[in-house]
Amino acid sequence: MSDTIDEPWEPGPTADEGYALFAKESRVVADDGTPIAYTFRNRAGRKVPILFANGWSCSDAYWGRLLPLFEEAGHPCLLPDTRGHGRSGLPRSPGRGARNLTIDDVSMPRIARDLVTVLDDAGVDRALVVGHSMGVQTGLEVYRQIPDRVAGLVLIAGTSENPTKTLYGQSITDTMFPLMAGVMRYVPEVLAPVWATIGPASVGHFGARLARAAGPKATAADLHPYLLHLKSTSPAVLVLMAGAMRAHSATDLLADLTTPTLVVSAGADVFTPARCSEAIHHGVVGSELVTFAKAGHTLPIEEPDALARVVDDFVARRIAPPPAKRRAARPPKAAKPAKPATTAAPTPAAGSSTVAEA
């Protein structure tokens, strides 16, 4: 990365080759100059558009099997790369240890504004926001910014506030985080040996399973594109973004949230344990909670069919179909073909809680 700090930084046009599952054919510039890459698939779909909000450090691999199911069901799908990930840039070159960036450059409200900018650029008036992990936090901030344009929220395996307080069911990470962040800021090379090992599918899968980051149904092939993406992403930027997650809370928003909300928890999730999702469910009046008892934090990868069925049932019951016309959007460009997939799972009611068997 260049250390030029007087202009936005943008990855090269081939930055995501080798790991992106969906070509990001569109590009929009955020209000701080950051270029945001995204794909808009199935533009002519008749059902409510879906805007995907990615998790921390996550690539489109987390939606690789789920997004095609939503396309097949008739949903237009908007999938951006988070700033600093994939084809999306940053407001300036991060520099060594991300010293040229501030926490505000990667904050949850800032990333939410990027998502709103993508909606505007695509000409989509209202959308269902589907967020995973960090995407739960940014999805809630999208609602805070444009409540009338959020048709509904699907909040998967995430929390409304600082996730380091509950990581592995302990608060030690939260206590130690300032020290770890300081080391990454001033001695970023400390992670170089670890980053060098990322890549081989079997090694990465073993490490993810060992750390209980990946659930039992997440295969090495499923995780490999994500691992390749992770290796290409600045660890210093990721740590700064983790600090932004730690500093964030949308818990104050929950009691006033009126859009239809589906909360999805993973019973074996050690990153954002099920109790984090349960707290959101109890905080949002009329929300629905579905729990996949055996799934881990990689829930969208592990249970795409069942998750698609749960979401489509929720949409059919709780969200009015969009009007026939949307705002004029950019003309479509070609995108990489997506992997096909299939569907299956339960049917909760408003204010209910369900355990999914999958």
* Total count of domains within the chain: 1
Residue 193 lies in a domain: yes
* pLDDT tens string 243-302: 999 999 999 999 999 999 999 999 999 999 999 999 999 999 999 999 999 999 999 999
Residue 194 lies in a domain: yes
Residue 20 lies in a domain: no
Q: Flag whether the pTM goes above 0.85.
A: yes
Provide the 8-state DSSP code for 171. Answer: S
Give the per-residue pLDDT at 34.
98
Q: Residue 280 belongs to what domain range?
A: 26-322+331-356
Give the CATH number of the domain where residue 311 resides.
3.40.50.1820
Residue 281 lies in a domain: yes
* pLDDT tens string 126-158: 999 999 999 999 999 999 999 999 999 999 999
Question: What's CA 198's distance to the chain center, in Å?
Answer: 21
Residue 121 lies in a domain: yes
* pLDDT tens string 207-256: 666 566 777 787 888 888 888 898 889 999 999 999 999 999 999 999 99
Residue 8 lies in a domain: no
Q: Which strand ranges, in their side-by-side order, compose the sheet holding 35-41? A: 26-29, 35-41, 77-80, 50-53, 127-132, 150-156, 261-266, 288-292, 353-356
* pLDDT tens string 59-87: 999 999 999 999 999 999 999 999 999 99
Structural contact between residues 131 and 157, judged by C-beta atoms closer than 8 angstroms:
no
Residue 7 lies in a domain: no
Residue 9 lies in a domain: no
Calculate the dihedral angle through the C-alpha atoms of 140, 145, 147, 152, rounding to the nearest 10 degrees: -30
